[in-house]
Amino acid sequence: MLPDRSGNDVYAARRREMVAQQIAARGIRSERVLEAMRTVPREEFVPENLRHLAYENSPLPIGSGQTISQPYIVAYMIDALALEGGEKVLEVGAGSGYAAAVLSRIAGVVYAIERLPELAERAAATLRRLGYDNVHVRQGDGTRGWPEHAPYDAIVVAAGGTSVPPALKEQLAIGGRLVIPVGRDNWCQELVAITRRAEDAYDEKPLAPVRFVPLISDPEPDPDR
């Protein structure tokens, strides 16, 4: 695990203030989540010209038409996974790699999928540079999951779909939890937590209205070509 770098950089005070005012004050109580958010340097995961905005509670552009989610939403979604430490986690929609880094401070190993090649490469490079060696990034279609490493104790999806991809439910361990935005369009999504109770039994709980970029599935390959 990485040492806590929060006291060793120029953004430390702003990071602690962000956690106190934007996350803890809004109801996140898990000390694991709060400490992870205090530790991971968000400024390293945004474009250099936007680093002065890294600890504002707002999404920021990261290129390719994508954004890094606001800190509270990252904390809220990770808190909803109810991690206890040491789990195997799948993240769909790695973006800049920030949420994967936060997850890695709690989980044992994180597998992160990003559909856009340029973002996947950049996220992997940033995570590698910062020493998050328990995060593995792959470019690909996140709706299909990462079956080679399944089952997962937890799955978190940072894009909104009209339904829950069957592959993700299938790759969830029994007792595991999946957190995903679901809605009929980009303006009407509900964050839901799905717990797998048995092989074919799932419980679903609505959490909060949210707005995420669309969850895009690549076309199935044509077996005749």
Q: Are 191 and 179 in contact (CB under 8 A)?
A: yes
Q: Are 53 and 60 in contact (CB under 8 A)?
A: yes
Alpha-carbon span 182 to 166, nearest angstrom: 13
Record the tokens describing residue 136, joined without a space. Answer: 């593995």
> What is the per-residue DSSP string for 139-194?
ES-GGG--GGG--EEEEEE-SBBSS--HHHHHTEEEEEEEEEEEEEETTEEEEEEE
Catalytic annotation, pick one of 69, 96, 163, 217: 69
Say which DSSP state 214 is in.
B
In sequence order, the 6+-apart residues with CB closer than 8 A to the CB of 105 are 1, 2, 32, 35, 36, 39, 40
Please confirm, yes or no, whether 30 is among the known catalytic residues.
Answer: no
Among all residues, which ones are annotated catalytic?
69
